[in-house]
Amino acid sequence: MANNILKRVITSFAIVFAVWGITFLLPSWAFCLLVVLFIGFALNEFFSIVESKGLFVYKYFGIVAGITLPIVIYLHLGEGHANLEPFFIIIACLFTFVLQLVRKDGAKDHLTSIAVTLFALFYISWFFSFFIKIKYLPDGAKLVSFLIVVTKTGDIGAYFIGKKFGKSPLIPRISPLKTKEGAIGGLVFSVAFAALCKDFLADFSYPHVLLLGFLLAIIGQVGDLAESLFKRDFYVKDSGGNLPGLGGVLDLVDSLLFTAPIFYFYLKILSFPL
């Protein structure tokens, strides 16, 4: 147990250092590349889990399409090209159907294959690509940092509080190790660190920042449970083993997949002073 926690801490610090350096010190294309790498690894893990249960998916098409989407968004926001994001999503959906039409194996799982492939493109690639959109908002690097800190400290709080004090299962049929005490701990951690990171949202009042912390904590836990839902369906504990102590890349970003788009639209639509 102690060795696993040490691996978790070391891996986490390495990731934090790398993400901070790329977000604040390197050009925007490097941040785009970071997003592409996270999406590529997460998609590979997801499709590998699906294939392990015998479901057919066009894995490499899904990965290529998935890592192309954030590049399309970057080319629009960072390089000033036309906004091809909606067009690309439609083409990717269309091509997913075309691939099923040319299959020659006599399969009868077309709907499942199409649904799983498109689900991965939306759930992993499109949702995580909102980090690029956030990065190009005013003070985008600070906004990205706020989102990551508040969401991931919620994960940390839920993990350690749950380990120490957890007694009441949260939703045992989905994740028997997650507890109500851990969920409350994650909520407290997120709200507390939102307050500590208020300088990242200088134009927002403290009530506004605390509301954001509460919102991101709830949505982040939903994202974590969402991944647990399909992992339990596929009888796997971790999405992969690329990150010592943490599992896979998808395990790392699961809570961010929902908070990133919600945070973006919150800032675009509901950013009013309280």
Residue 258, domain member (yes or no): yes
Say which residue the tokens 């647990």 belong to: 228
The CA distance from 159 to 146, in Å, is 20
The CA distance from 64 to 40, in Å, is 8
Q: What is the pLDDT of residue 9?
A: 78
Residue 262, domain member (yes or no): yes
Read off the pLDDT of residues 188-244 as tens digits, 9 standing for 90 and up: 999 999 999 999 988 888 988 999 999 999 999 999 999 888 888 888 888 888 888
CA-to-CA separations, 27 to 31, 34, 136, 141, 224, in angstroms, rounded: 7, 11, 12, 11, 31
For 268, other C-beta atoms within 10 Å of its C-beta total 11
The CA distance from 162 to 244, in Å, is 21
12-49 burial, b if ≥16 CB within 10 A, otherwise e?
beebeeebeebbeeeebeebbbbbbebbbbbbbbbbeb
Query: DSSP assignment of 213-239, as one string?
Result: HHHHHHHHHHHHHHHHHHHHHTT-SSS
71: containing domain = 2-269
Q: What is the pLDDT of residue 274?
A: 45
Residue 75, domain member (yes or no): yes
- The number of folded domains in the chain is 1
Q: What is the pLDDT of residue 169?
A: 83
Residue 172, domain member (yes or no): yes
Q: For residue 190, with 0-12 CB atoms within 10 Å meaning exposed, 13-18 middle and 19 or more buried, which class applies?
A: buried
Residue 109, domain member (yes or no): yes
Q: What is the pLDDT of residue 184?
A: 94
18 CB contacts (<8 Å, ≥6 apart)? 34
User: Residues 190, 226, 250, 125: what is their CA dihedral angle, to the nearest 10 degrees?
Assistant: -100
Q: What is the pLDDT of residue 111?
A: 87
Question: One-letter amino acid identity for 178?
Answer: K
Residue 126, domain member (yes or no): yes
Q: What is the pLDDT of residue 271?
A: 66
> Is 173:148 a contact under the CB 8 Å cutoff?
no
Residue 242, domain member (yes or no): yes
Model-level pTM?
0.93
Residue 274, domain member (yes or no): no
pLDDT means per 10 residues in the chain (274 residues)?
72 89 94 97 94 88 97 95 95 92 76 92 97 95 96 91 86 84 94 94 88 95 89 82 86 95 90 52
Q: What is the pLDDT of residue 2?
A: 58
Q: What is the pLDDT of residue 210?
A: 94
